[in-house]
Each structure stands twice: as C-alpha cells, then as structure tokens.
Structure 1
Amino acid sequence: MSRRIEFAEYVAISAGMALSASCYAMVAGMFRFVAGFEAILAVGAAAALCMLVSSPVAELASRFPAAPGINTYLKAAFGERVSLPVVLLYIGLVAVFGGVESYVFSEVMAQLFPEVSRYLLVSCLLGGIVVINLFGIEIPRKLQLYITVFLLAGMLIISLWALMGPGSLPTPDSAAHSTEFSELPNAIALAVFLFVGFEWVTPLGRRSSSYERLVPLSMPVAIVLLGGVYMLFVAALDARLPRATIEATAIPQFALSTFLNSTTGAYLAASLSVFAMLSSFNAGLMSAARLVYSLAREGSLPRWCAIISFRSGAPMGAIALLGAVALAAGLLVLHFRVHLVAATIGAGVECILYGALLVACLRLRRTQPDKKLLYRSRVPAPVQWTLVVALAGLGVAALFSAPGPTFLAPGVFLALSLLAVLGATWSLRSRPNRLRARK
C-alpha cells in the first residue's frame, strides 16, 4: 500500500469519527448563543483549538504505538487511581453518545415515516448495530474513506446550494443576531463537540513508522476539512433559515435540505444522517468495546466483559454491556427529549479530557525524558498549559450552556463522575480477588 493511500485512510478515519449525526444537533444548539459571523468564528476557534490539541496527542501516540488510546496514556502519566475513573467515565459517555445519535436518527426517520414509532426506530437501530458488532463486522478502511468523502461532499453540496442557489432569502430575524462576543465561549465549547473523535485514529496505525508522520499529520488535516465544511454549513443555515427555526430543531440539515428541495433534499439529508451514524457510532462502539475488553483482561472489570467470540474474535461481553447502556440512554433521551443536555455534557467532558491529555504529555516528558519519540509536538509547553486552562474553562462553560434548569447538566456530570470514581475504587479493591479466581 502506498503512503498516500495509507495517509488518506487515516484522514478519513479521523474525520469520519468526528462526522456524527449528533453534530448537526449541536450546530443547532450553537445558534442559541450566537449566529452570523460569531457562529462561524466559534467553529473556526474550536477547529484551531483542536488542531493544537492534536499535536500533543500525536506525541502520546508515538510513545505507545497502536496502544488502546487514552487508557494507556493516562495510566502511564498518572497511574490507575487517576486513569481508571476517567476511562470509565469516557466509556459511559461513548454509550450515551450512541443514545444521542439514535435520537437524531429517529428525528430524521420520523420525517420520512411519521407513522413508525420512534421508540421502535431507536430500539431497532441500536439493536442492529450491536448485532453487527457481535458478528465482528467492521467497516473496511477503504469503505470508511468513501463514506467520509460522501459525508463531506454532501454537506458541501447542501451548503453551496443554499449560499449560491437562486431565490436566496434573508433571515427574517437577522436583527436578533448577536452583536456582542459575550456568548462566544459557550458557542466555542459546544463547537468543540463537532470535532470530537478526531483522536480515535491514534490506535489504528498500521506500523510503528506510521506514527512518525502519517498519523500525526492526518489529524490536523481532518480538522481543517471538517472546520471548512462546518463553517460553510453554519453560513448556509444563517443565510436561509430563521434563527428560531434552527434553534428549535435537532436536525437542521433536514430543515435546510427540504427548504431547498422538499424531495431530493429530504433523501439527501436522511442519507447523510444514516451514514454519519454508521461511520461514527458503529466504529466508536467497537473501539470502546476493545477498551472495555482490555480493562476486563487486566482485571479492572468483571470477567464476563472479556468474553469473546471464537468465531469472529469480537469482544461479545463488552459489546453487550455498551449496547445495553446505549439503548437505555437512547430511550431516556427520546422520552425526555434531552439530546442537547446529553451532547453538552459530552462536549464538557471532552474539553476536560483533552486538557488531561495535554497534562499527560507534559508529565511524561518530565518522567520519561530518555524515551525515544517517533514524533514530538512543536507546541511549546507554556502554550500547552494555557490550553489546559482554556479547555477547563470551556468544559465548565459547556456544562452550564445546556438548555433547561441551570444545574441539570453539571449535576448529571457530577453524578456520572461520582459513579466512575466509585466504580474505579471498587474495581481496584476487588481486582486481586478476580485475578485469583481466574487462576
């Protein structure tokens, strides 16, 4: 395989993981705070922030090529007492993320098939993805490349169609657009969610040499592509739809597409939503399942979480666990219609997690100064510490930017964090007994 094709695959994986169906809902959520130029600026600022984060993350990956991501990085830097609660929280949020994805999917399908129960749609969708994963069926890398190209091209077509097509209408409530920058931090915090998943390419390098240049470069390239397409999409929404319409929907891509063409636009938007979910959540579920499997193998989780299929090699116990949590989350999100609350909690946690990875990078430089690195980040240490503070602030801003009661999202986040800490404490105390039982 040529290096160009391999690099294109890494870019597709990085961009494809971030191109989820729930990102459209988060774009709509941003319009609660900003619109017009400020909304475009928020996306650009989040893209720049993620590009800076990607460089230290690439350095961590080069220290541990093909290692299972954040668990290895945080454990090496801080030990298990710190890393395990964070990883458990991260695993739980991957499952909740599936709930948000299924909600957005049900919203799109309800527009095409209003007579079908949304609860049935969510259950069938998540059940189908779990079954696919139980059989060990994964999207081939070349197919992932084609899907990512389709998703980027589809968003680009819709955006340019709206911006350049005939009969452009001004936004009826353009006077309501924010003329101040006071809400920009909230919007940037939510915009970070649009790029979440770009780092999932780090465990997937084909060889150690891939971490010298190809994997590190693929992440910023993917972020640039995503940022450009998202900014065009935000501009198109702002140019064609009333701000109140954007804020009120979880599927702005459907609203914009059907505004342009009721038939073609509907099926194009539905296709983008379906493929976005399949490429991001399906791959994310398998990646998280491998992480659960590795924790179970080392005794940090119950033994049944390490059950595998001898036929396909799929981690069946881990997939079943994550699938059950995702289904419960999907039904709860659908029943209470709290998709933005769940998504903003995810955005806040990711901001905090990215900050933790930056600190891990700096700490490992100090504790392992002689470690030979395939790639070394060029982001200066003072800039990384500044990013840590900025990310912590954005994480808090995201948690307090959720709709509904002010302390709902922070309260849920604290509850999930407490559960993760208690789970990690129980795991570390009972692990010797589990390991002895296996012998």
Structure 2
Amino acid sequence: MSKAQAQPISLQKTLSLPQIVSLYIGAVIGSGILLIPGLAAEMAGPASIVAWVVMSLLVIPMAVTMGLLSASHPSAGGVSHFVRLAYGDRFGNLVGWFFLLSVPIGAPILAVTGARYIAVLFQLSDLQVYGIAALILLAVLVMNWVGLHVAGKIQTIVVALILAILILAIIAALPHTSAVNFTPFAPNGWFSVFQAAGLLFWCFIGWEAVTHLSEEFVEPEKNAIRGVVWSAGLVALLYFGIAFATVATHSYGNGLSEASLSVMIQLSLGPVGGWIVGFTALFICIATANAYVGAASRIAYALANEGSAPRWFGILHTKYRTPIGGLGFLTLCFLIVLTVLWSGTVSLAQLIQLPNATFFATYIGGCLAGVRLLKQNRFGRISAWISLIVTLGLYPFLGWSALYPVVILILYMVWKRK
C-alpha cells in the first residue's frame, strides 16, 4: 500500500497554458451542448441565436473575473480562498463547502449521462449503464490520484477530440442549411429570447472549477488570464457554431430537440453520426468530470488545512503529492449517489438541480470577492460587478433548489459550533 501523510505539502506546478485551456474548456463544455441548442431553438426559434450571442458576451466578465483572481491569488482553495481574503475565514470556508458538495452529486450525473449515450448504441441494461458510469468515475479518480501532470495531458487529448468532433458536426451540417429555416425569426415573441438566455446560462458554468487548480499553474500570474481568455473565445465560437447549425438545418422540434446534435450530424453521415455523437458525449462527460473531481479534491485539501473539514481530507500522497484524502471522500459520495440513482429513488432531472444551486452560490461568492479584491484593476472591478448582477438576477429562478445552499449553511454552522 502507498504511504500518505496529513501534514501540508506544497502542490506541484505542472499545468502549462495548453493544459490550463483544456481544463477550462473541459469544465465549461458539459453535457449541455448535447441538449441546450435544440431546446433553446424550440423555445425561441431562430432568435435563440441572439440569446447565444448575448450570453457569450455576458459570461466573458465572469470568466475574466475568475482568471484575474486566479492570477493574483493562486490557491487550491479557488473561489473559497478569494472569499476568505475578501471577507474572512468563515465566509471563505462556507463557499468552499458550497463547491465541495456540488461535485459529489454533479460528477455521477455526468458519468450516468455519458453512460446512457453509450447504452443507446449497445442497447445496455440499467445495471450495465451504472456499471459504465462507475468505471468512468473510477478512471477520473485514478487520473487525479496519479497527478495533474497525467490528468492534464489526458484532458488536453480528450478536449482536442471533442473540439474536432464538434467542428465536424458544424461542417457536416453546412450542405443542409437553408435561409428558409430563419423565418419567422422570433415565432414565440422576443420575451422567449430572454427565457432562452436564462436556459443557456447552464452551458457556461465551469469557470470557477479550474480556479482550485491555480496553485499548480506554471506562471499563474500570466497563464491564468491567458487560459481563461483563450478558452472563453473557443467556447463561445463552438456554442455559436452548433446553435447556428441547429437552427439553419432545423434540427429541433417534433421530439428532436433533446438529440439535436445527433440529428444534425446524421444529415450527412447517417447512422455513423449517431455513433460519433455517442462517443462525443462520453468524452465530454469524462472531461468535465475530470476537471471537477480535480477541483473538488483540492478544495477538500484546502478546507482541511484551514481546520474547516476533517483532517483526513488533507492527506496527500507522499509520491504523487495528490490530495488522496479529498479523493477518498469523493469516492464514498459517488458510491452513495450512484446507488440512489440506480434505485430510482431520485431521478437525474431532480438531482441535477441541487449542484446547479450550489454552483450559483459559489459564483455569487466569487463575484463579491472580485468586487473587493480587484479594486485596483478597473477592468477587473467592472467585470466583477457585471458578473454579480447577472448571477444575483438569475438566482431566484432556481426555484426550490435554491434552498440547498441554505441547508449547507445551517449544517456548516452546526458543525463549527460542535
């Protein structure tokens, strides 16, 4: 057995600019790109493209805020570290728990999503689906156990494959585009465009995840902001390309919206396109889960060092210097969540609302920290204010799941008193 120790050890700086960009892209481009373009087009028609452009512009300040904070204050604590610097330990640790308790639910959801796309291709049973989901999570845990020098390289390869396949989907759709599909432009009125914009926000969550890896960036003061700018531009272009092709080929409506990417690519490639999309879904889910598991294990490590989490959360591997304590906590949570999903007690659609709420709460904390910590940077201060207004404005629309961060707050206060 490998030896481990609980005392704090410096994390290695192993992530170069290409790996940082791939981690950002892997965190942001999640399963939403498989669902949201078709759903948004069904909701707002061709005018949904306007919503994509607007949201792409609105999330740039959010991405820049996270990038500037990572460059100025690199730490495994990520957003919680920024909040701690701005408002003290109590609030910083609370935000850390918001993020940490998002991933044990969110990562299994990603794994099951990827497994279900594979299940469609091979007509697998539910038990086999959850077996594949468990293998996906195991692979991600092993990559992060060995270290980010391995996980980062694998992430770069996986993200490159995702980009290539998405670009292929856009190119394959071009011969089937028609101007007729853009009329009427706003069939459901312009209010539907605002509704679609709210839906699209879920496609742009992820910038906060990589901040937890900033302590392992090579030259973080330069590469953090470069990484976020490059990835924000690439993500925006990809989303717009897929959304435009979805509308231009009318690959939505009549039960097609939830599989619009598959429908679109099959226009040129036939059934082979379905296989391509199936494996693309698997790659996307692995890449996103990899980024979030890496981030969550490091926030567990940071919280343990702050005395706001059990000591064993802070155990580092003596050889790889990876946070195996945090990875162990995530492993236990993954087993519980997969079991609950497999039993049918809670559906994926119901469960996914919980991590969305805590991600929102994490963003609000990060934006508030940016307002205070980026005072001397005019561009950064404006970006933080815009991000704060956007996230606060959308939070009430979460519904009942908005109470999940409140429950975490109560449990955190009780634990601290004891």
Question: Does the alignment reach a TM-score above 0.5?
Answer: yes
Match of 1:99 in 2: 108
Q: Unmatched 5+ residue regions in structure 2? A: 1-14
Q: For residues 107 and 288 of structure 1, do their structure 2 counterparts lie closer, same or farther at Cα, with a shift above 3 Å needed?
A: same
Match of 1:396 in 2: 396
Query: Which among 397, 402, 407 is matched to residue 413 of structure 1?
Result: 402
Query: Which among 130, 137, 152 is matched to residue 119 of structure 1?
Result: 130
The CA deviation at 1:53 is: 1.7
Q: For residues 321 and 170 of structure 1, do their structure 2 counterparts lie closer, same or farther at Cα, with a shift above 3 Å needed?
A: farther
Q: For residues 148 and 123 of structure 1, do their structure 2 counterparts lie closer, same or farther at Cα, with a shift above 3 Å needed?
A: closer
Aligned-residue CA RMSD in angstroms? 3.3
1:307 aligns with 2:295: no
Distance 1:167 1:76 in 2: 51
Partner amino acid for 1:271?
F
1:299 is paired with a residue of what secondary structure?
A: coil
Distance 2:50 2:309 in 1: 43
State the TM-score, normalizing by the size of structure 2.
0.82
Query: Which among 33, 44, 53 is matched to residue 53 of structure 2?
Result: 44
Q: Unmatched 5+ residue regions in structure 1? A: 370-375, 400-409, 431-439
1:197 is paired with a residue of what secondary structure?
A: coil
Q: For residues 345 and 227 of structure 1, do their structure 2 counterparts lie closer, same or farther at Cα, with a shift above 3 Å needed?
A: farther
Distance 1:418 1:271 in 2: 38
Report if aligned partners of 2:70, 2:214 keep a CA contact under 8 Å in 1. no
1:378 is paired with a residue of what secondary structure?
A: helix
Match of 2:160 in 1: 149
Q: For residues 385 and 207 of structure 1, do their structure 2 counterparts lie closer, same or farther at Cα, with a shift above 3 Å needed?
A: closer
Q: For residues 59 and 428 of structure 1, do their structure 2 counterparts lie closer, same or farther at Cα, with a shift above 3 Å needed?
A: same
1:88 aligns with 2:97: yes
Query: Which among 244, 253, 269 is matched to residue 277 of structure 2?
Result: 269
The CA deviation at 1:131 is: 4.5
Partner amino acid for 1:411?
W
Q: For residues 331 and 392 of structure 1, do their structure 2 counterparts lie closer, same or farther at Cα, with a shift above 3 Å needed?
A: farther
- Post-superposition CA distance 1:20-41 (Å, at most 9, x none): 2344234444346333222x22
Distance 1:71 1:105 in 2: 30
Match of 2:331 in 1: 323
Q: How many residues align?
A: 399
Distance 2:114 2:252 in 1: 23
Match of 2:379 in 1: 378
Q: For residues 292 and 384 of structure 1, do their structure 2 counterparts lie closer, same or farther at Cα, with a shift above 3 Å needed?
A: closer
2:231 is paired with a residue of what secondary structure?
A: helix
Partner amino acid for 1:181?
W
Report if aligned partners of 1:144, 1:279 keep a CA contact under 8 Å in 2. yes
1:183 is paired with a residue of what secondary structure?
A: helix
Distance 1:317 1:107 in 2: 30
Match of 2:265 in 1: 257
Report if aligned partners of 1:101, 1:277 keep a CA contact under 8 Å in 2. yes
1:242 aligns with 2:252: yes
Partner amino acid for 2:412?
A
Distance 1:67 1:305 in 2: 13
Query: 104-113 or 114-123: which moved more?
Result: 114-123
Partner amino acid for 1:144?
Q
Match of 1:297 in 2: 305
Q: For residues 77 and 29 of structure 1, do their structure 2 counterparts lie closer, same or farther at Cα, with a shift above 3 Å needed?
A: farther
Distance 1:176 1:336 in 2: 42
Report if aligned partners of 2:35, 2:260 keep a CA contact under 8 Å in 1. yes
Query: 288-297 or 340-349: which moved more?
Result: 340-349
The CA deviation at 1:70 is: 0.9
Q: For residues 95 and 155 of structure 1, do their structure 2 counterparts lie closer, same or farther at Cα, with a shift above 3 Å needed?
A: same
Q: For residues 187 and 339 of structure 1, do their structure 2 counterparts lie closer, same or farther at Cα, with a shift above 3 Å needed?
A: farther
Query: Which among 70, 75, 78 is matched to residue 87 of structure 2?
Result: 78
Q: For residues 32 and 331 of structure 1, do their structure 2 counterparts lie closer, same or farther at Cα, with a shift above 3 Å needed?
A: farther
State the TM-score, normalizing by the size of structure 1.
0.79
Partner amino acid for 2:401?
V
1:313 is paired with a residue of what secondary structure?
A: coil
Distance 2:394 2:314 in 1: 36
Distance 2:143 2:65 in 1: 34
The CA deviation at 1:282 is: 1.6
Mapping 1:135-284, distance limit 5 Å:
135-136=146-147, 139-162=150-173, 164-166=174-176, 178-202=187-211, 203-204=213-214, 209-211=219-221, 213-238=222-247, 239-247=249-257, 249=258, 251-284=259-292
Q: Identity, % of aligned pairs?
A: 17
Q: For residues 138 and 58 of structure 1, do their structure 2 counterparts lie closer, same or farther at Cα, with a shift above 3 Å needed?
A: closer
- Post-superposition CA distance 1:269-318 (Å, at most 9, x none): 12322222222212320221111122123321123323344454333332
Report if aligned partners of 2:208, 2:363 keep a CA contact under 8 Å in 1. no
Report if aligned partners of 1:190, 1:347 keep a CA contact under 8 Å in 2. no
Query: Which among 114, 127, 130 is matched to residue 141 of structure 2?
Result: 130
Report if aligned partners of 2:358, 2:405 keep a CA contact under 8 Å in 1. no
- Post-superposition CA distance 1:113-141 (Å, at most 9, x none): 11333233333333443355445576454
